[in-house]
């Protein structure tokens, strides 16, 4: 048996809801193909109350709060100041959004 199997596979999504096919995930969870999932973001937010993910015992759902870390304000300000200086110097910016990729 390999390292990746139903007993050890656990999906965690703290990125974008659109990167996960929720119907395929629901099927995989119900069939036992993976052991569970933790979702901080879903395709439709808030997740509809009638959604099947709410009823699965092997799913943890959080209210899109994974970005709230103890240093988030400090890191955001540091990035802003760095990018402001780079902009003033005509340099390329860090963490530029790629709208075609969705982030």
Residues with a catalytic annotation lie at 16, 45, 64
Contact 42, 22 (CB under 8 A): yes
Q: Write the DSSP symbol of residue 13.
A: E
- The Cβ of residue 85 has, within 10 Å, a number of other Cβ atoms equal to 10
């Amino acid at each position: 048996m390999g390292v990746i199997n139903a007993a050890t596979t656990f999906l965690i999504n703290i990125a974008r809801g659109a990167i996960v096919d929720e119907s395929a995930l629901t099927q995989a969870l119900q069939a036992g193909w993976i052991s569970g999932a933790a979702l901080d973001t879903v395709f439709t937010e808030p997740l509809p109350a009638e959604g099947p993910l709410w009823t699965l015992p092997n799913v943890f759902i959080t209210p899109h709060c994974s970005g709230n870390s103890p240093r988030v304000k400090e890191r955001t300000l540091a990035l802003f100041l760095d990018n402001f200086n780079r902009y003033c110097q005509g340099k390329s910016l860090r963490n530029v959004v790629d709208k075609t990729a969705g982030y």
